[in-house]
Structure 1
Amino acid sequence: MDGATNSEEFAVGCLLSIKTTLGDDFEAQVITFDRHTNILVLQEGSKAGPRRNIRLLKANYIKEFSFLGQAEDPLDIKKCFLDLNTLLAKEDLAIRQAEAEAERIGVGVTSEAQSIFDALSKTLPVRWDKTVIVVMNEVRVSSPYLPESVNGGTPAANERVKKVLEFERKRLQTRGGGQ
């Protein structure tokens, strides 16, 4: 296919059967053709509904195509369906997840402290209180994050945090070559 294809062949709404130089063979409807970049935006298949496959294809990669017919504009605003409630719910969930992840990152702490926090968080509920790790809302682990730095909480909770802390420090030493 040469670069001198006239744009009428790729008019919006055209239904085409396309064979590419890469061996793909498919039917699609033209959503738009950008002559400057020589890129076709295609909607694959003919099934109706809110979900569709979109393909961007450089026209140079079209080996051959045949015109199957003309359909309505696929982007007709009266027929496009956007579920704004679903989109807003997804956005809200993504924001809440990002905020929760941000709260798990200690500010002004060493990477070792963050590693200890991450290890504790795998088995226990934890949060940062400035540079202090608060476990189960009762046990506090202060810098330098050693078993001796653990205080507060019930004796059982205190011992559990100390054990996890000792294990994580050993794991960090073997992994980091005895920092």
Structure 2
Amino acid sequence: MADTKRNTAAGKVATPKAGGGALGAQAIGDTLEALGKAIGARIKLTTAAPYSQTYEGTLFTACPILNIVVINTRSSRTDQGANTGAQPGDYHLIPVSRVQSFQVVALASSAEGSESSFANAQPAIGPVDIKRLQQRQDERVRKLKEEAKNMGKGVTKEAQAIFDSFNRINLPIRWHNQEMIVHEAVIIAPPYRVEDCKGPKDKQETLTRVKKVLEGERRKLKEKEERERKAPAATGPRKGG
């Protein structure tokens, strides 16, 4: 029964829906799906005009990411059940959008078809740790959200530098519109000077500490600006020796 189905599939011609030119997105998807089931088989493929050409060989891959097919047209005397990826050959990369028609000449001898070629791939394709990939993705998303949360909206470069300096010394700080909230108690309003700090009466000790930190960080920023201003501008190599 299985041999009957295989013999029926071999020799079948598939003609993508195209008006003689490049395929549309839907047709490309349909063609890739059909070709994906024939990986490892021997096929005959014809490209569309104006550069129509026919290729016959072993279908190496049908890539849905790059939208290309790869055919090995070299005549090989090796066992057809052997790993096609390890065989020498003349490989042709063909955009799926240029496929006019294709015909399965002979199916892969292995019952598993394309799966067997992946199982025997060189170098070997190892298992993918999906759980680890998910963890890395979640960690990256968390980090990006944290970075976005720490970026002030519509604030000056100096204001962002002050906020970042508080973060670096691990003082709890967040943005509320254009105001900085420290320790969920002290508000630093624009333009973020010591006198712009305010807090409730029962948090005066915290307010005093925040003011001292702010004063020190603003001093460091000012000193850095002075150093950069006085630093000689970088110049290229002198011409003429």
Give the TM-score taking structure 1 as reference length.
0.57
Among 153, 160, 176, the residue aligned to 1:114? 160
Unaligned runs of 5+ in 2: 1-73, 77-83, 94-118, 230-241
Aligned twin of 1:72: 120
Aligned twin of 2:149: 103
Structure 1 runs (4+) greater than 4 angstroms displaced: 33-36
Q: Give me the whole-angstrom Cα distance separating, in 2, the residues matched to 1:116 and 1:86.
A: 36
Q: Give me the whole-angstrom Cα distance separating, in 1, the residues matched to 2:86 and 2:198.
A: 70
Q: Give me the whole-angstrom Cα distance separating, in 1, the residues matched to 2:216 and 2:208.
A: 12
Higher helix share: 2
Q: Give me the whole-angstrom Cα distance separating, in 2, the residues matched to 1:177 and 1:7.
A: 73
Which amino acid counterpart does residue 155 of structure 1 have in structure 2? Q
| Secondary structure at 2:187 match in 1 | strand
Aligned twin of 1:161: 210
Question: What root-mean-square deviation, in Å, do the aligned CA atoms of Structure 1 and Structure 2 show?
Answer: 3.2
- Quick check: which has more Rg, 1 or 2? 2
| Secondary structure at 1:96 match in 2 | helix
Change (3 A) 1:167 1:92: same
Alpha-carbon deviation of 1:7?
A: 10
Map Cα deviations across residues 107-130 of structure 1 (whole Å, 9 max, x no partner): 100000001111111220110001
Among 58, 76, 90, the residue aligned to 2:136? 90
Aligned twin of 2:226: 177
Higher strand share: 1
Change (3 A) 1:95 1:7: farther
Q: Say if 1:7 and 1:35, in contact at 8 Å, map to a contact too.
A: no
Which amino acid counterpart does residue 85 of structure 1 have in structure 2? K
| Secondary structure at 2:154 match in 1 | coil
Q: Give me the whole-angstrom Cα distance separating, in 1, the residues matched to 2:211 and 2:153.
A: 23
Once the two structures are aligned, what percentage of the paired residues are identical? 32
